[in-house]
Amino acid sequence: MLAESKHHAEAAEVMTQALEQAPAWAAGWFQLADYAEKSGGRKAAIAALSTVLRLDPADIFGAGLKLALLGATSPPAVPPAGYVERLFDDYAARFDTALVERLAYTVPEKLAALILDHAGATAHFPVVTDLGCGTGLFGQRIRSHAGTLEGFDLSTNMLAQAAEKAVYDRLAKADLSRPAAESGLFGPGVPEGRCDLATAADVLIYLGDLHDIFPSVARLLRPGGLFAFSLEDGGEASGPVLRPSLRYAHPAAFIRQLAAENGFAILACRCEVIRMDAGAPVSGLLFLARHGEDVLSAACAA
């Protein structure tokens, strides 16, 4: 009640008393850090987050990300997989309503439009792989253009929501932050070089430096296959930027270099508003790339 009425210092006092009775309560320490930060107690917030990491080395709360935002540590190259999995497991049941109705989320339709503007309105892809498929919002928009549609996600609850939409031929768990051989994208019945179109709608924003995802997609695609993906716009930064939302933004120049290093040619890049966040528009980048063919890169259109 104190926190909801913006009395964060008082809320921190109450939480401190609770933690005296339950000192191993990692979630409580994480909440204390939030109250302390909001009341101007940066040092107290850092101390509380450090305690969270000691109690929960797997960091399912994302305490390491918060410490980086407070300037206590360097941003991690990738967020903890346990944090991302827990975040979306908890979010799955209300994901569609929260994103589409409250945050005006538009990536699925805009990314599908980018693909079809290039490939043609009647394009057909024998195998489409939806990476980080979530609840299947993008899958619904590409289904009519796919022969086989497969979806992968780290969150079991997200996969369950996607299954209810009945648009995927195959759904499986995968950790896209891991190297290709450890990701779960390949194995018996799921060979390399099987895919004509790979997509990642609002996924790479949770993967940090992306140095594992591009090689994985390269192994997934047939020669000449397409990779369509969205990002939050990192502007003129030299590399990924961790934002207060605990999502990463990526500059276009960084993506172009990483794509080239992994044999991708950029076909198109669009700058779009992709959602609202705290009442403000979030600027994003939508990319379409081809792997294994010599195609001139297109300039990033406004």
User: Does residue 41 carry a pLDDT above 80?
Assistant: yes
Q: Tokens representing 215?
A: 């090689």
Among the residue ranges 57-71, 81-95, 242-256, the one predicted with the least confidence is 81-95
Average confidence (pLDDT) over 215-222 = 96
Confidence grade of residue 131 (pLDDT, cut at 50, 70, 90): very high
Whole-angstrom CA distances from 255 to 29, 260, 295 are 37, 9, 16
Confidence of residue 299 (pLDDT cuts 50, 70, 90): very low
For residue 64, pLDDT over 80 is answered with: yes
What is the pLDDT confidence band of residue 100, given thresholds at 50, 70 and 90? confident
Inter-residue contact 63 to 30 (CB < 8 Å): yes
Report whether pLDDT(126) > 90. yes
Q: How confident is the model at residue 279 (pLDDT cuts 50, 70, 90)?
A: confident
Using DSSP's 3-state secondary structure scheme, residue 162 falls into: helix
The 10s digit of each residue's pLDDT in 244-261 is 999 999 999 999 999 999
Contact 176, 131 (CB under 8 A): yes
Sign of CA dihedral 213, 196, 288, 259: positive
Q: What is the mean pLDDT of the chain?
A: 93
Nearest to 61 by CA among 103, 19, 90: 90
Determine the average pLDDT of the residues in 49-53.
98
Distance between CA atoms of 147 and 207, rounded to whole angstroms?
28
Query: Any alpha helices (H) in the chain, and if so which ranges?
Result: 8-21, 26-38, 42-55, 63-69, 81-91, 95-96, 107-119, 137-142, 156-165, 180-183, 213-220, 252-261
> pTM for the complete prediction?
0.91
Percent of the chain with pLDDT over 70: 97
Contact 16, 45 (CB under 8 A): no
Helix (H) or strand (E) holding 221: strand 221-233
Provide the pairing of β-strand 170-173 with 195-200: unpaired
Confidence band (pLDDT; 50, 70, 90) for 293? Answer: low
Evaluate whether 198 touches 268 at the Cβ level (below 8 Å).
no
H/E stretch holding 153 reads: strand 146-153
pLDDT in tens, 168-193: 999 999 999 999 999 999 988 899 99
Alpha-carbon torsion (255, 256, 258, 262), positive or negative: positive
The one-letter amino acid at 178: R
End-to-end Cα separation, the chain, in angstroms: 45
Is-contact 31 15, C-beta < 8 A? Answer: yes
Among candidate residues 151, 150, 200, 211, the one with its CA nearest the CA of residue 177: 211
Can you list the domains of the chain with their CATH numbers? 8-74 (1.25.40.10), 88-291 (3.40.50.150)
